[in-house]
Structure formats: C-alpha cells, structure tokens
C-alpha cells in the first residue's frame, strides 16, 4: 500500500492576530504553519513591547534528527506602525527557512562522514599541539603566556577544516526534498526553480570530492611526509 504524503499548509488569519494581540486568550495560543512528514512549524506570540509598538513572534520547529525528537526556535520583531501583512508573511517564511537550515546542519553533523572529518581535525590538532609543545621545550620556552600564544598561532595556521567543507558540500542536499516542498508550498517559486537547477548541476559532486580528500588525509597522517609538514610549519621562537 502506497504511503500517503503528509503535507499540510495552514492558512492563518494574521490580521486577526494583529488586531487582537492584547487579548490574553491569544497569549497561550499556537498556530500550526506547515507540516511535512515529521516536521512541524508552529507560530506563537512571544512578547509585546509597548515602548516601540512591536510584537515579538516565535517560530518553533518540531522534528526528528538521528532518531531523536527535537525542536528549535527563532524569534523576530514585527513593528505595528511600519510593517504590513506581506512583510509579516515574508518574515515568517524567512524564519522557517532558517529553521530548516538548522535542522540540516544538525543532520549533517549526525552523519558518519561528518564525524570522520571531525575526528581527522581533532587528531591533526592534537598532533600539532604536541609538535608545538616539543618545539617550545627544546627552545627552553616555559612561560605559559608565550607557550599558549605560540600553540594557538601554530595550530590555527596549520589546521584542517573539512567539517566546514562537508557542511558546504551538503548544504541544500541532505534536506533537498524538504526545501523543495517548503518553497513550493509557500509559493516561493523563484527559490524552488533556483535550487532545482543548482541541484542538477552539482548533486553530490563536491561532497564526493571532499570525502575522497578526507580519506587521503587520514592515510597521510601515518606518513613521514606529514611529520615533515608539521616541522616545516614551526616558526622560530627566538
């Protein structure tokens, strides 16, 4: 039996909320915005600022990542004097998109390949720190402030950043379907068309290149050339 696609987009009477935001009955109320599979977006009133005539809205995403139910929230301010319903709707869509980006970031961080990249960076950082400490010992530098500054400089200069590469390579890929459904459901066809075209052009190409380089670097860590590279990166302390 074919599973039914779970997608719901709710029509919210924003003008009613704006006219009645001082009504205590609305303060505890929440409005579902968008539901797709296990992802739900909820709108609510966060606070009211009488000094600058603004309302702070909250958007909460409820979702499952790596088998665990979780949620994230974002807030934004709506000016009652200088804004309109169209600007409110744009703000809501923008915050929902940022929450999808947050979900995607957490999802990428939960992958085994991201963890492999992070472990590579950590191993490399530990090796660099050890190399710098030995270098400082050999040069008789024991003042903690000098040692800490040199180690920070050296490890930063020689660091790897493959986790950022994976994050960039999988941006809008790991949750491609969610982005596409969201853009279409919220009538953002310009973003829908742009993402569709970009995805066809680069689908996983960058990602595969990054993972190939990570595997090569993991092997490189076991070679004498790697040790020589760390040595070459040490700057004279005197």
pLDDT tens readout for residues 153-162:
999 999 999 9
Q: Quote the pTM value.
A: 0.83
First to last CA, the chain: 75
Q: Is residue 224 part of a domain?
A: yes
Question: Which domain-ending residue is among 55, 90, 109?
Answer: 109
Say if residues 15 and 86 touch (Cβ distance below 8 Å): no
- Does 131 lie in the same domain as 61? no
- Does 67 lie in the same domain as 98? yes
Domain coverage including residue 81: 7-109
| pLDDT per residue as tens digits for the range 7-17 | 888 999 999 99
Q: Is residue 238 part of a domain?
A: no
- Does 25 lie in the same domain as 124? no
| pLDDT per residue as tens digits for the range 96-113 | 999 999 999 999 999 999
- Does 104 lie in the same domain as 120? no
pLDDT of residue 3: 45
- Does 41 lie in the same domain as 81? yes
- Does 126 lie in the same domain as 90? no
Share of the chain above pLDDT 70, in %: 94
- Does 135 lie in the same domain as 208? yes
Name the average pLDDT for the chain: 90
* DSSP letters for 86-100: HHHHHHHHHHHHHHH
pLDDT-derived band at 163, boundaries 50, 70, 90? very high
Q: In this structure, what DSSP letter does residue 49 have? A: E
């Amino acid at each position: 039996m074919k599973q039914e696609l779970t997608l719901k987009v709710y029509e919210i009477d924003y003008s009613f909320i704006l006219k009645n935001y001082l009504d205590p009955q609305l303060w505890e109320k929440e409005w579902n915005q968008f539901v797709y599979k296990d992802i739900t977006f909820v709108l609510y009133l966060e606070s009211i600022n009488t000094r600058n005539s603004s309302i702070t809205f909250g958007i909460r995403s409820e979702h499952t990542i790596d088998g665990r139910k979780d949620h994230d929230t974002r807030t934004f301010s709506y000016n009652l004097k200088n804004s309109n319903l169209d600007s409110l709707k744009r703000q809501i869509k923008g915050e929902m998109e940022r929450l999808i980006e947050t979900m995607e970031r957490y999802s990428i961080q939960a992958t085994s390949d991201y963890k492999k990249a992070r472990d590579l960076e950590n191993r490399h950082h530990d090796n660099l720190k050890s190399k710098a400490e030995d270098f400082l010992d050999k040069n008789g530098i024991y003042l903690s402030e000098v040692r800490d500054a040199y180690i920070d400089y050296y490890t930063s200069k020689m660091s790897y950043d493959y986790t950022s590469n994976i994050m960039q390579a999988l941006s809008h890929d790991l949750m491609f379907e969610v982005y596409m459904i969201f853009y279409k459901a919220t009538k953002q066809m310009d973003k829908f068309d742009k993402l569709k075209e970009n995805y066809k052009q680069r689908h996983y190409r960058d990602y595969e290149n990054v993972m190939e380089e990570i595997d090569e670097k993991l092997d490189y860590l076991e070679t004498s050339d790697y040790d020589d590279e760390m040595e070459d990166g040490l700057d004279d302390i005197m």
